[in-house]
Amino acid sequence: MCTNKFSKPKIKNMAENLEIKELDSVAVRFSGDSGDGMQLAGNIFSTVSATVGNSISTFPDYPADIRAPQGSLTGVSGFQVNIGAGKVYTPGDFCDVLVAMNAAALKTQYKYAKPNATIIIDTDSFQEKDLEKAAFKTPDYLGEMGIDPDRVIACNITQMVKDCLADSGMDNKSMLKCRNMFALGLVCWLFSRDLDIAFNFLKEKFAKKPGVAEANIKVIQAGYDFGHNTHSSAANVYRIETKVKEPGRYMDITGNKATAYGFIAAAEKAGLKLYLGSYPITPATDVLHELSKHKSLGVTTVQCEDEIAGCASAVGASFAGALAVTSTSGPGICLKSEAMNLAVIMELPLVVLDVQRGGPATGLPTKSEQTDLLQCLFGRNGESPLPVIAATSPTDCFDAAYNACKIALEHMTPVVLLTDAYVANGSGAFKLPNLAEFPAINPPYVPEELKGTWTPYMRAENGTRYWAVPGREGFQHILGGLEKDDKTGAISTNPENHDLMTRKRQAKINNIVVPDLEVIGNKDAELLIVGFGGTYGHLRAAMEEMNASGKKVAMAHFKYINPLPKNASEVLKKYKKVVVAEQNMGQLAAFLRMKVDGFVPYQFNQVKGQPFVVNELVEAFTEIYNK
């Protein structure tokens, strides 16, 4: 662990004629081959920036190919970091600085750069064969792409890294692994970042390999010095000052890690063993990775034979008295549905994490969508109500996971927690939570005094079935997938009883109290933007941009989708115009129309596998606004 106190960024000896731009936020996109370490460079840059109090939002854009050929167009991996003086809500639509470590990266990633963006390229990776692999037709790659050479910082990074490490005794391959650090050093120079923080990060990361840490540090410094010495070749230099600071201790966290932490925190609060039954699936696997590390907290993870067993074993673990979780993505939900339904009828606590990706079928495994909502709400046989919660940002995954566990345990029900690839892989500055301040989790254990009279479907006042964990004498009982008699708990096909049990299961979910829908933005808004889950940042940025331009816009974002917040209907009917924006063909809109009489919203739907683009949202919403 390293704790760095906030310190003002040191401005190194800049030449006087240098134009220094003060910006509210700046997005940097590191791109290169999958093996070029772009994510590490991005992570260090975001940590360094966060340490000085900037807000951060990151987004990795992985290629679908596991190991595409080096230098090929399909092998390019990107990592975008948005840093802000105030709050940033998204990783940024387009970047201000694009680092392209090879020709293929420039070719595929330039579309994410702003028209006036600074482009950093490693000219050593723009040789004839590199250009050929990247399908450039001429040696004039900049001209071919219409890039103004004045905006390009062209440097022979590979050669300089080799020169820099010539005396290190490292082999060629190891030296080349440090190229990302040269680019990072250069970017740090552009943004006047304090290199000491980066150095500390590397010393921690490579604590067991001091040689590697030393080499990386040397190369960062070289990149920084190169930027400094050749500043005239850059069009702009940026400074991001910190405007708003919320005091506290922070860490950088991805959505998947925050989700795993939420589960751990909830298990500790509830005093239960945390059990994860899972099967690897992109983009949810990091939750399995994270939880499997923490055996010292007693976390039990079982990598099962399939998605079905992942969920089924979690149902077994829940019956046996654990906080049971299963993690997956959309295709896995298809397979888990049957066991989820079993947990519905047995009324056992279970959290099902769905890190949504592009579908249908295998779809776009590494890309993001919100297309599983209706599947999770309704994709099971019979009347099968269960709560659905959606996390709104990487850091919100923690709260969402905690609350999903709390609802599952206190209401004896499976709960679906929806995140998505964007939220799961993105990161943000996470203020360390104090578990003591979190609400208690109290499962409805069957009271001892009911021994002798208790039957499995006796309910507490709020309609929740009591939990009798095996090992307790006198509470032996049988649960199962067959309908049971309300009074005796025996198998029953009685028509009146089935109708009654169906209604009781529904009422139990309806009775769950969730926080009211919060409305932010203009109080006299003429347009209300509505969304759910991972689009929060983009919708909020669009709203703020519209309000800044004098329009009256508000926003209501759903975290709790089933049951809906009590004030949902009132909020949705209050505004002249409502637009429901989602990364699907209108699933939330359909659900809201089903639940709110007479609600007919405008819709904005996009299913591209990519995050929303704020400019596109503003344009679409403005059109609706002006109608």
Partner 1 sequence: MAYTIQDFKKGQPRWCPGCGDHAFLASLQKAMAEIGVAPYDTAVISGIGCSSRLPHYMATYGMNTIHGRAAAIATGAKVANSKLTVWQVSGDGDGLAIGGNHFIHANRRNIDLNMILLNNRIYGLTKGQYSPTSPRGFVSKSSPYGTVEDPFRPAELCFGARGHFFARAVATDAAATVDILKAAYNHKGAAVCEILQNCVIFNNGTHESVYDKAGRAKNAIYVKHGEPLIFGENREFGLVQEGFGLKVVKIGENGITEKDILVHDAHCEDNTLQLKLALMGDNDGFPVALGVIRDVDAPTYNDAVEAQIEEVKAAKKYHNFAELLETNDIWEVK
Q: Which stretch binds partner 1 (CB under 8 A): 148-156, 219-227, 243-251, 371-379?
A: 243-251
140 vs 154: CA distance, rounded Å: 13
Q: Do 232 and 15 contact (CB within 8 A), yes or no?
A: yes
41 part of the interface to partner 1, by CB under 8 A: no
Q: What is the DSSP string of 464-476?
A: PBPB--TT-TT--
Q: Of 260 and 389, which has the nearer Cβ to partner 1?
A: 260
435 part of the interface to partner 1, by CB under 8 A: yes
Q: Do 331 and 359 contact (CB within 8 A), yes or no?
A: yes
Upstream peptide bond of 349 is cis (omega within 30 degrees of 0): no
Residue 600 neighbours by CB distance under 10 Å: 10
Contact pattern for partner 1 over residues 181 through 220, marking x by CB under 8 A: ----------------x---x--x----------------
590 exposed, middle or buried (CB, 10 Å; 0-12, 13-18, 19+)? Answer: middle
313 part of the interface to partner 1, by CB under 8 A: yes
Site for partner 1 in 387-426 (CB under 8 A): none
146 part of the interface to partner 1, by CB under 8 A: no
C-beta of 51: minimal distance to partner 1 in Å? 4
Among 13, 296, 453, 493, binds partner 1 (CB under 8 A): 296
Among 65, 214, 225, 268, binds partner 1 (CB under 8 A): 268
19 part of the interface to partner 1, by CB under 8 A: no
Q: Which stretch binds partner 1 (CB under 8 A): 10-18, 181-189, 333-341, 352-360?
A: 333-341
C-beta of 293: minimal distance to partner 1 in Å? 9
10 part of the interface to partner 1, by CB under 8 A: no
104 vs 117: CA distance, rounded Å: 18
Q: Residue written as tokens 């996470």?
A: 430
Question: What does the buried/exposed string (b/e) look like for 366-389 if buried means 16 or more CB atoms within 10 Å of the residue's CB?
Answer: bbbbbbbbebbbebbeeebbbbbb
Q: Of 252 and 354, which has the nearer Cβ to partner 1?
A: 252
- Residue 623, H or E segment: helix 614-626
439 part of the interface to partner 1, by CB under 8 A: no
Among 105, 346, 376, 400, binds partner 1 (CB under 8 A): 346
264 part of the interface to partner 1, by CB under 8 A: yes
Among 88, 322, 441, 613, binds partner 1 (CB under 8 A): 322
Site for partner 1 in 52-71 (CB under 8 A): 53
Q: Do 609 and 364 contact (CB within 8 A), yes or no?
A: yes
295 part of the interface to partner 1, by CB under 8 A: yes
Q: Six-digit token pair at 177? A: 């692994």
Q: Six-digit token pair at 607? A: 């299913």
Site for partner 1 in 457-516 (CB under 8 A): 469-482, 490-491
Q: Of 483 and 516, which has the nearer Cβ to partner 1?
A: 483
Among 86, 139, 248, 382, binds partner 1 (CB under 8 A): 248
- Applying CB under 8 A, the site for partner 1 has a residue count of 78
Q: What is the DSSP string of 325-379?
A: EEEE-HHHHHHHHHHHHHHHHHT--EEEEEEE-B-STT-BTTS---TTHHHHHH-
316 vs 343: CA distance, rounded Å: 10
